[in-house]
Amino acid sequence: MHMSREAIVEGLRRLLGAESVVTDEEVLKHASVDNFRKLEDIFGVYTRPLPAAVVMAGSTEEVVEVLRFADEHGINVVPRTGGTATEGGLETDEPNSVVLDGSRMNQIIDIDTYNMQATVQCGVPLQVLEDRVRELGMTTGHSPQSKPVAHLGGLVATRSIGQFSTLYGGIEDMVVGLEAVFAGGRVARIKNVPRRAAGPDIRHIVIGNEGALCFITEVTVKLFPYLPQNNRFLGYTLKSMKTGFEVLRQVMVNGYKPSVARLYDPGDAGLHFSHFAEPDDCVLAFMAEGAAGISAATAAGIEAIVGEFAECQPVEGKLIETWFNNLCWGPDDIAHENERIYQTKNVNRTTEISANWSRIYDIYENALRRIVTEIPDITMAGGHSSHSYINGTNMYFNYFYNVVDCPPEQEVDKYYLPIISIICEETLRGGGSIVHHHGLGKARVPWVKEEYGSSFFMLEALKQAFDPHGIMNKGTIFPSDVVK
Amino acid sequence: MRALAVIDGTASDAPQQARALASFLRAGEHSAGERSRAVRGGVVHSAAVHSAAVHRGGVQAETLEAETLVFAGLAADREEAATLAPTSAVRLVRVPAWRRDLQVGYLAEIHAAGGPDLFLFGPGRVGVELAGRLSRRTGGSVVSGVLDVDLQSDHLTARKAVYSGYLRARFALTGAPLCVSLDAAWIDATAASGRGELDRPRIFSEVVLGAAEAGAEVVPPVVSDVEMLAAASASDLVNADVLVVAGRGAGNRAGIERAAAAAQRMGAAFGVTRPVAMNGWAPMDRIVGVSGVRTAARACIVIGASGAPAFYWGIERAQLIVAVNLDDRAPIVSQADVAIIGDGVSVIEELARLAEQRRPG
Amino acid sequence: MKVLVCFKVTPDYEALRPADWERVAAGSDETKFVHRVLNVFDESALELALRLRDAVRQAAAGAGRAAESGVAYGDVRLRALTIGGHDADPFLQTLLALGYDAVARVPANGALDFAPQLTASVIAAYARRTESDLLLLGDRSGPGDSGLVPFLVAESLGWSCLSGVTELRASAEGALRLTWAAGEGQQRATLRGSAVLAVGNAVVSCLRVPTLTDRLKTRGLGIDLVQLEDLGVHQQDVVASSGLAGLEVVDRRRAGVILDGRPPATLARTLLDDYLAPLLETS
């Protein structure tokens, strides 16, 4: 039973008041896409069904009202906060969806420097929380490139990871407790304890659900001491990616936890390091942080490991430090990049995957070779590893293409999805995971069953249990045949 | 030290050239963007020349005698042209417009005939072009965009902004003649424009160049089929009492438009930083800063801009600089008189609302 | 028509922090730690030149005439020149891949940074050597920001210089139409001879991007390295020209009073009452 657009808007207004229900067409257009279809946004062409409204929730109670209403009437709800998602997870797949926006829930509820925990509402920008705790000598340790713009709700919903993850972990290592609202309006509060073994860890149903199971309203994250005075930066140039991966592996296997450990291939290095790297150079970049003794030992350990590989040439640490200080993208950088895209029709895209040490190089090489030979108008193709573990690492493919003889709304079909296909195919063939940290969104859903194999029924069961009427972010994570 | 101030009266910015040179040569406070330096000097007037013993405006020299040369159009009014001069001794040289080659040639002849040690030109492209071409023609030295010069017997230095305004450089000048064009900061270095206490200019020489050439040129000889496009007028940015400038922190085009509307309701002019124009959020003629306009507004409210030097130069003359920024560590905050840490667009809209409320009638 | 476009690659000055600038002023080369960018005005010039060539070729094709026959400017040949170090080479390779017919670099590691006269001599000598008809460059570049080079080059070549150029087009006949800041407003005019065009705030500000295939095709094409001496500039000239006597940091600080403790709306009222109104009433 489908409600009309007007009836949906009227219903929402009665629940929350007209002030919280936005129906301005420009806002609706912008809310129907995320960075996956950023070209549409830049050129003002919108092909996703317009939502009926953007609802600005002010409290958990209001979220409950909206989800209950939506569940009752079969209305598709797309949860949203900072809007920096890249995989289509925020697209409105259904006509007259409701975009449920949590950015007004922007209170920092508590900062507990004794228990080293901070509790915030879902609409708090990470930068705001980070700046606040830094005043107290602390850090969240979480620094994705979207930090200036992304909010905590979305960062938890997508299982995000930041630049310092090799030391602090991903968001899943940082979340303590949380509160989420499920379809039908049930509220779950998960308390803040350091660890428990009282059954499976249910936080992992929420972390990474990408709005397909619930709406996150509150998050508690760990805090760490902020000791930037002990930061150390190391950089090396080398010719071989294979060597580079081996260096990273040795660093991890020997127990070192630099906050940053990155390996750039020549194509990607050319974008960042051309002022000191040759066109055929790979670049290794490390940052060690923490207590003085730890930071010094980490840096020394890395230097010793790299020293075993004669082809690695050291570069001045200040080069890496300066580069690192300019890495995050604020709204003005985004706007500048959008203008560049508008003028040049040259688009930058990324796709990130993960695999064990023994498979990652082949996946990287095979995928890149296929991209360069099978896809037209490529202007740059390369990648870097930025998140390492004892048993493997990620590969962040970075590529640019000119959009030629193609209207903006067809760019995704002509270029982006074919490249994603190549990367997913090669990754699955190599036994890796098709998505390291950006989330499945809607873009990589075609490969989700192959990604999970025989374990897919477990994922399926979550959807059937928590969203039986299929109102939560249709098209995200779960293929349409999973939803009743 | 003998100086010749040169004004191209055929150019549309002749008044600005004149004011800048007048300030530069004037006795009293050294005030082109230098808030902390106050210099006093004495001026002795004689019938024909000015002399100064110490610091004068932008010049520090043991002695300084200054005359002016005004290039005027073939049909220009004599007295009006002479009034541009910052000194009482004036040479008038009539020349067709756009004939820089004739102007530079004439100045080079003056130099060859034992002319002044220092040629001073106004700010802007005209001054840079004349200073540059003359130095090349005569084998002299040149510095453009000068804040001050120090001409002692044993050293000659000039100061100007470099590295996009992040630093200032001192240059040692060698090679005569010295050709110097001024930083546009000198245009309104002192509140009063005009000649002040100086005598009326006395034209002691008048010459006509190039009149015999066919047709007085109205465009540079190298172009034709000229089409005037809509004259971009940024005079409101320069002359308004209150100026609101928005930077990238306004977030997007909609934010800029909201800020512009609020500025209008407040009765303030509205400008943007260069990145805002480069993002396509506002037209180029709204740029405030080195690549745009330098304002004479008394109060500037800067929202969502971090305060890069190339922009800040455009507002540094303001008596009151207000910054509204989300980042309390943005350079603009310490470079402002007063700051609010918050969202600039909201604050400016609130200011507009209050200002409208209080407007009488 | 042979067009020479000159460009400069500089460190990204915005990426430096106040402490770094103090070190630069003290003589330490902190800028070597930052990535390089194209000077924004030069970037416009490089892209405008490419668009001009596209337009002239289109005009010639549209009129059904071969590029060499009777069309006002014939085909447009593009050449790029930079004075600088090895870090400019990636940009030169990009220009080759974009179809610049030749690219050249005059090796000079910062020696000419504050020497506009020598820079102009180098450019003028190269323009003569390559028999260029038209010269394009940004109207100023860092670190010197003198704005002198276009005029000095024009003087050296005996050409006019038009500055504040914001647009280049081709007329239907293939003649060059340019838009520039002439006095009080903007003018569009036809160029009738050789000139130096100094590019200002052009709306076109981003250089197009070559494909990997374009890059592969041009990888073998070399960058011409042209020594200063070959252009008539000798080491003693360089030494004699160094007029930089010192650098200083600029102190622009004011009172920096921060209004806080209340919502921004309330603070707006304080701003109006305590700061703006008193200032504006004294008139």
Q: Measured in Å, how far apart are chain C's first and last C-alpha atoms? A: 58
* Partners of residue A273 in chain C, C-beta under 8 Å: 35
pLDDT at residue A452 greater than cutoff 70: yes
Q: Mean pLDDT over residues B315-327, rounded?
A: 92
Chain A: list its partners (3+ Cβ pairs within 8 Å).
B, C
Measured between CB atoms, which of A275, A316, A343 is closest to C36? A275
CA C191 to chain centre: 20
Residues 6+ apart with CB under 8 A from C254: B321, B334, B335, B336, B337
CB contact under 8 A, B249 and A26: no
Evaluate whether B299 touches B319 at the Cβ level (below 8 Å): yes
Establish whether this prediction's ipTM goes over 0.90. yes
Mean pLDDT lowest for which of A133-142, A312-321, C161-170, C259-268? C259-268
Q: If you ran DSSP here, which 8-state letter would residue B213 be given?
A: S
Query: CA A136 to CA C268: how far, in whole Å?
Result: 29
Amino acid, single-letter form, for residue A350: T
Q: Closest Cα of chain C to A339: distance in Å? A: 9
* Partners of residue A336 in chain B, C-beta under 8 Å: 248, 275, 278-279
Q: If you ran DSSP here, which 8-state letter would residue A453 be given?
A: G
Q: Which two tokens stand for residue A357?
A: 């040490």
Q: Is A339 on the interface with B (CB under 8 A)?
A: yes
Q: Mean pLDDT over residues B169-180, rounded?
A: 90
pLDDT at residue A442 greater than cutoff 90: yes
Q: Is B254 on the interface with A (CB under 8 A)?
A: yes
CB contact under 8 A, A319 and C210: no
Which residue of chain B has the CA closest to A337?
A: B279
Which residue of chain B has the CA closest to C16?
A: B166
pLDDT at residue A405 greater than cutoff 90: yes
* Partners of residue C120 in chain B, C-beta under 8 Å: 136
How many A/C residue pairs have CB atoms within 8 Å?
59
CB contact under 8 A, A344 and C206: yes
Pick from C212, C215, C217, C223 the residue to mutate for testing the A interface (most A CBs within 10 Å).
C212
CB contact under 8 A, C117 and B135: yes
A117 versus B224: which is more confidently predicted? A117
* Residue appearing with tokens 């072009």: B129
- The residue count of chain B comes to 361
Evaluate whether A123 touches A206 at the Cβ level (below 8 Å): no
* Partners of residue B37 in chain C, C-beta under 8 Å: none
pTM, whole model, 2 decimals? 0.90
Q: Which two tokens stand for residue A110?
A: 């508590």
Q: Closest Cα of chain A to C169: distance in Å? A: 17
Query: CA B256 to CA B270: how far, in whole Å?
Result: 10
* Partners of residue C205 in chain A, C-beta under 8 Å: 339, 343
Chain B: list its partners (3+ Cβ pairs within 8 Å).
A, C
Pick from A379, A380, A419 the residue to mutate for testing the C interface (most C CBs within 10 Å).
A379
For A184-235, the pLDDT digits (tens) are 899 999 999 999 999 999 999 999 999 999 999 999 999 999 999 999 999 9
Whole-angstrom CA distances from A19 to A15, A54, A56, C134 are 11, 11, 9, 60
Q: Mean pLDDT over residues C17-24, rounded?
A: 90
Q: Residue A431's pLDDT is what?
A: 97
For B8-49, the pLDDT digits (tens) are 999 988 999 999 999 888 754 333 433 323 222 222 222 223
Query: CA B296 to CA B312: how far, in whole Å?
Result: 13
Q: Are strands B50-52 and B156-162 parallel, antiparallel or unpaired?
A: unpaired
For C184-225, the pLDDT digits (tens) are 788 899 998 899 999 998 988 899 999 999 999 998 899 999
Evaluate whether A32 touches A91 at the Cβ level (below 8 Å): yes
Pick from C178, C258, C283 the residue to mutate for testing the B interface (most B CBs within 10 Å).
C258
pLDDT at residue A85 greater than cutoff 70: yes
Query: CA A423 to CA A470: how far, in whole Å?
Result: 29
* Partners of residue A342 in chain B, C-beta under 8 Å: 280
* pLDDT > 90 in chain B, percent: 47
CB contact under 8 A, B167 and C192: no
How many A/B residue pairs have CB atoms within 8 Å?
24
Q: Residue B34's pLDDT is what?
A: 36
Q: A99: which strand partners?
A: A54, A78
Confidence grade of residue B88 (pLDDT, cut at 50, 70, 90): confident
Q: Mean pLDDT over residues A51-79, rounded?
A: 97
CB contact under 8 A, B249 and A332: yes
Q: Mean pLDDT over residues B90-99, rounded?
A: 90
Confidence grade of residue A450 (pLDDT, cut at 50, 70, 90): very high
Measuring CA to CA, which residue among A13, A16, A223, A222 is closest to residue A105? A16
Q: Closest Cα of chain A to C210: distance in Å? A: 6
Measuring CA to CA, which residue among A151, A36, A30 is closest to residue A438? A36
CB contact under 8 A, C209 and A381: no
Q: Closest Cα of chain C to A380: distance in Å? A: 6
* Partners of residue B291 in chain C, C-beta under 8 Å: 200-201
Chain C: list its partners (3+ Cβ pairs within 8 Å).
A, B
* Residue appearing with tokens 């060539």: C53
For C47-72, the pLDDT digits (tens) are 999 999 998 888 877 766 544 444 45
For A280-290, the pLDDT digits (tens) are 999 999 999 99
* Partners of residue B242 in chain C, C-beta under 8 Å: 276, 280
CB contact under 8 A, B248 and A332: yes
CB contact under 8 A, A274 and C36: yes
Neighbour tally for A43: CB within 10 Å: 17
Q: Closest Cα of chain A to C33: distance in Å? A: 5
Q: Are strands A138-139 and A224-225 parallel, antiparallel or unpaired?
A: antiparallel
Q: Residue A58's pLDDT is what?
A: 96
Measured between CB atoms, which of B145, B223, B274 is closest to C146? B145
* Residue appearing with tokens 């017919």: C101
For A274-316, the pLDDT digits (tens) are 999 999 999 999 999 999 999 999 999 999 999 999 999 999 9
Q: Hey, is B88 helix, strand or coil?
A: coil
